[in-house]
Amino acid sequence: GEGGTCPGQAKEPIDKRGVGRFVAVGSGKGGVGKSTTTALLAVAMARRGCRVGILDADVTGPSIPKLLGIRDPLVGTVAGMIPPASAKLGIRVMSVNLLLDDPAKPVVWRGPLIANLLKQFWNDVEWGNLDYLFVDLPPGTADAPLTVMQSLPLDGMVLVTSPQGLAELIVEKACHMAGMLDVPLLGVVENMSFVRCPGCGQELDLFGPSHVAKLTERFSMPLLGRFPVDPTLALLCDSGRVEDYGEAERLEDLASALEASLA
């Protein structure tokens, strides 16, 4: 219909400007480690020498600047806002938290205002030439993630789940959302999927056998990686040093899997 937003409607192509790959990161629900995974994906690609940015669209919990230790105030020019960069790998970040006087206060704006702000995060931000721009979506399948996905020229979406969450239909809902919006599913990252015994190094499935194979089969997408419940990672996140994540091989594998899925 006129001015309608039917998800099945053909999209006007949105100019990707200087961005090579535009990848959304979503989840069926909050708390599965979506933001942490977004940051790890960015770190993985930046360690390969790629130019990387993160558009933090999770206004319910805008945690990307904190994960990467970014506290710089925003710099604006006539042309637009310049996203500050992380100290080590130069990952560019735009987040509502960079606009707030007190990042501890919740964002209480209503939907349309937030939708406009997120459009500005794409239109009015000088992202420059990037190989990868990741979008940390709001969790779930409500209006907010939908609006974000419709306003950006996405190449695909990565889905983050945890073993507890996988038992629920909510993950499949997120997959169907991507399908309805014609956004290709690039694959799944299973977070907090096992625990490593500090004594013997054995990997233990805390939540029973994983259901992720069923999901990847049903939606014909790859498993891009698995991350253990890791107190060191939690500590790095809390102290803004996710760039120092030590499991280099795990991140290399994640980067290769994402590249392969986008090829």
Could you list the residues that contact ligand ADP (CB under 6 A)? 27, 30-36, 61, 63, 139, 191-192, 227, 229-230, 233-234, 237
Nearer to ligand ADP, 134 or 227 (CB): 227
Minimum CB separation of residue 194 from ligand ADP in Å reads 10
Cα–Cα distance for residue pair 192/205, rounded to 1 Å = 10
Tell the smallest beta-carbon distance from residue 117 to ligand ADP (Å). Answer: 19
173: left (phi over 0), alpha (psi -120 to 50) or beta: alpha
Question: Which parts of 48-169 fold into alpha helices (H)?
Answer: 64-67, 111-123, 143-151, 163-166
Q: Quote the least distance from Cβ 136 to ligand ADP, whole Å.
A: 7
Smallest distance, Å, CB 137 to ligand ADP?
9
Q: Which is nearer to ligand ADP, 221 or 237 (CB)?
A: 237
Provide the minimum distance between the beta carbon of 235 and ligand ADP in the complex, in angstroms, as a whole number. Answer: 8
**Which CB atom, from 155 or from 190, has the smaller least distance to ligand ADP?**
190
Smallest gap, in angstroms, from Cβ of residue 76 to ligand ADP? Answer: 28
> Do the bridges between strand 81-82 and strand 75-76 make them parallel or antiparallel, or are there none, so unpaired?
antiparallel
Task: Provide the minimum distance between the beta carbon of 49 and ligand ADP in the complex, in angstroms, as a whole number.
Answer: 25
* CA 38 – CA 132 distance, rounded (Å): 12
Residue 62 or 156 having the CB closest to ligand ADP: 62
Q: What is the DSSP letter of 98?
A: G
Three-state SS for 134?
strand
| Cβ(127)–Cβ(18) below 8 Å | yes
Which C-beta is closer to ligand ADP: that of 192 or that of 258?
192
Q: Which is nearer to ligand ADP, 81 or 230 (CB)?
A: 230
Return phi, psi of residue 3, to 5°.
65, 10
Task: State whether the Cα torsion 48-134-124-73 is positive or negative.
Answer: negative
Does residue 16 contact residue 55 with C-beta atoms inside 8 Å?
no
Is the alpha carbon torsion for 71, 126, 187, 171 positive or negative? positive
Q: Using the minimum distance from each CB to ligand ADP, give the nearer residue, 156 or 225.
A: 225
